[in-house]
């Protein structure tokens, strides 16, 4: 039985929270202490993403390895960019992606998401070197800077399949 990606269920909640906790620790250990505060993402984020039918998990033999939001754009935070998107067509977005360290599951989820749409956008904190490295290795193009609702800047990437 291999790894599978599926919609998250209520029963996944504790494992998802555990993955997010581990991701916050990893971020701090790799020079990114400010992207996710101690309570983010939390239960309310999980419930909202699941209610939108946009929360996915990767599992292997019943254990969750990764979690991510995969939704249809437009995303309001991408309306303004200091730079330029590759194109202005329809796109999907990935947010709140996290994986158990050392399993390669986060990268596999990004490949799955990228390959299930013509165009995908994603953003990350300027201090999140590991994520930027993975995105570039998967063919994502750095398009510029976007701003979250609270004004916090993020590095924006896009991938468009030919």
On the question of pLDDT at 93 being above 70, the answer is yes
Locate 58 and state its tokens: 């990767």
| pLDDT (average), residues 105-116 | 97
- pLDDT for the residue numbered 2: 87
d(CA 9, CA 20): 16
Domain ranges of the chain: 4-160
| pLDDT (average), residues 77-90 | 97
| Local confidence band at 162 (pLDDT 50, 70, 90 cut-offs) | confident
The pLDDT tens digits for 1-12 are 689 999 999 999
d(CA 83, CA 97): 24
d(CA 106, CA 111): 9
- What predicted TM-score, i.e. pTM, was given to this entire model? 0.96
Q: What is the mean pLDDT of the chain?
A: 96
The pLDDT tens digits for 124-147 are 999 999 999 999 999 999 999 999
Task: Give the CATH superfamily of 4-160.
Answer: Gcn5-related N-acetyltransferase (GNAT) (3.40.630.30)
- pLDDT for the residue numbered 9: 98
d(CA 134, CA 89): 24
């Amino acid at each position: 039985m291999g790894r599978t990606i599926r919609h998250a269920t209520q029963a996944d909640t504790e494992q998802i929270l555990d993955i997010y906790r581990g991701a916050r620790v990893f971020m701090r250990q790799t020079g990114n202490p400010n992207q996710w505060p101690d309570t983010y993402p939390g239960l309310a984020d999980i419930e909202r993403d699941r209610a939108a039918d946009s929360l996915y998990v990767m599992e292997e033999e019943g254990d969750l390895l990764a979690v991510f939001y995969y939704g249809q754009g437009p995303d309001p935070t991408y309306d303004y960019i200091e730079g330029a998107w590759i194109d202005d067509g329809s796109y999907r977005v990935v947010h709140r992606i996290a994986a158990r360290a050392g399993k390669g599951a986060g990268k596999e989820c990004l490949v799955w998401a990228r390959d299930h749409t013509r165009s995908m956008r994603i953003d990350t904190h300027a201090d999140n070197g590991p994520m930027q490295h993975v995105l570039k290795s998967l063919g994502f193009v750095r398009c510029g800077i976007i701003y979250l609702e609270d004004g916090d800047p993020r590095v924006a990437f896009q991938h468009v399949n030919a």
